[in-house]
């Protein structure tokens, strides 16, 4: 019997799942009764949990696995895992940083260009024959030279900023602490939003950043401002965002993440000022392979009694 349990296998890189299953790993059943049966039979065997970032490992599951030794998150975010509960048990938690920064930053740029230039919306306009029936598509906003505010200047935020430099954008940021960077610092999310043409959300998820972008921040962003979120849906007050978009209180939004994934409110889908992607910022073959390699490196290091490459607690 393998010592590994896979959580949220559907959200993991399939070759990683296949490799783990070939080694005998168990996958977490969907149904409650099946889960109870699996725990009754195998809880004492499980020493490693591999989880997709969106699923994580909660305190109840951690408590149910008496011999658990490692939680390896497939993703840079680990807000869905109860790190405090793991730490209290002396269980290390790992993630997969760095290897996904470029692809997430690339998508942030793509979403910004799309929402400001209405690429998706004008594509629909052309496909529907409206260029012929209704005339030229309305003028949009230029990306080059825009004022870009980055909320959360970690590794991904800095990768995003570097890309915007290529568009000759002026960049400012807000972060939990100041960084040794050339960009100006704003004291609050609202102050950053008030200054910016585009507010890019790149913070971690979790309780500390829940609804960090609220109605006040959106009001500060204003009717000419755009919101881009490649972080976590929880960071933005989704109801306040819908309200702002429906009343043209902001110019538009480009969203890769949502509050209740995979659910997306119909109100967002109905708006041409909104660009939607289904949480695909790191979803490239190259990045997912690299993420899988980091997960496996952490498992191998743990089993060999070596220092974990990407421990977070």
Q: Which residues are catalytic?
A: 232, 261, 279
User: What DSSP line would sit under 267-308, residue for residue?
Assistant: HHHT-TTEEE--S-TT-SHHHHHHHHHHHHHHHHHHHTTPPP
> What does 33-79 look like in DSSP terms, one character per residue?
HHHHHHHHHHGGG--EEEEETTT---HHHHHH-TT--EEEEESS--T
Residue with the two structure tokens 């939607």: 276
Nearest to 112 by CA among 137, 148, 158: 148
How far apart are alpha carbons 46 and 248 in whole angstroms?
52
Give the list of residues 6+ apart from residue 289 with CB closer than 8 angstroms, or none.
13, 15
């Amino acid at each position: 019997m393998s010592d590994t349990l896979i959580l949220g296998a559907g959200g993991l890189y399939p070759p990683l799942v296949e490799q783990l299953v070939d080694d005998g790993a168990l996958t977490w059943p969907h149904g409650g009764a099946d889960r109870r049966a699996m725990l009754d039979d195998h809880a004492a065997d499980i020493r490693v949990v591999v989880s997709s970032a969106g699923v994580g490992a909660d305190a109840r599951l951690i408590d149910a696995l008496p011999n658990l030794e490692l939680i390896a998150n497939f993703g840079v975010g680990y807000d869905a895992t109860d790190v405090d509960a793991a730490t209290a048990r002396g269980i290390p938690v790992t993630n997969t940083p760095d290897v996904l920064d470029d692809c997430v930053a690339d998508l942030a740029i793509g979403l910004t260009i799309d929402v400001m230039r209405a690429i998706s919306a004008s594509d629909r306009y052309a496909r529907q024959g409206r260029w012929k029936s209704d005339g030229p598509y309305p003028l949009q906003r230029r990306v080059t030279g825009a004022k870009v505010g980055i909320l959360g200047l970690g590794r991904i935020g800095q990768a995003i900023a570097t890309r915007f430099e290529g568009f000759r954008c002026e960049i400012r940021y807000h972060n939990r602490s100041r960084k040794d960077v050339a960009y100006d610092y704003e004291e609050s999310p609202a102050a950053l939003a008030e200054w910016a043409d585009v507010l890019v959300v790149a913070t971690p998820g979790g309780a500390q950043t829940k609804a960090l972008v609220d109605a006040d921040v959106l009001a500060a962003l204003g009717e000419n401002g755009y919101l881009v979120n490649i972080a976590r849906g929880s960071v933005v007050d989704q109801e306040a965002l819908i309200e702002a978009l429906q009343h043209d209180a902001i110019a538009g939004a480009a969203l890769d993440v949502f509050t209740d994934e995979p659910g997306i409110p119909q109100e967002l889908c109905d708006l041409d000022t909104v660009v939607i992607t289904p949480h695909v910022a790191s979803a490239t073959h190259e990045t997912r392979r690299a993420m899988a390699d980091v997960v496996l490196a952490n498992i191998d290091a743990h089993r060999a009694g070596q220092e974990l490459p990407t421990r977070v607690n």
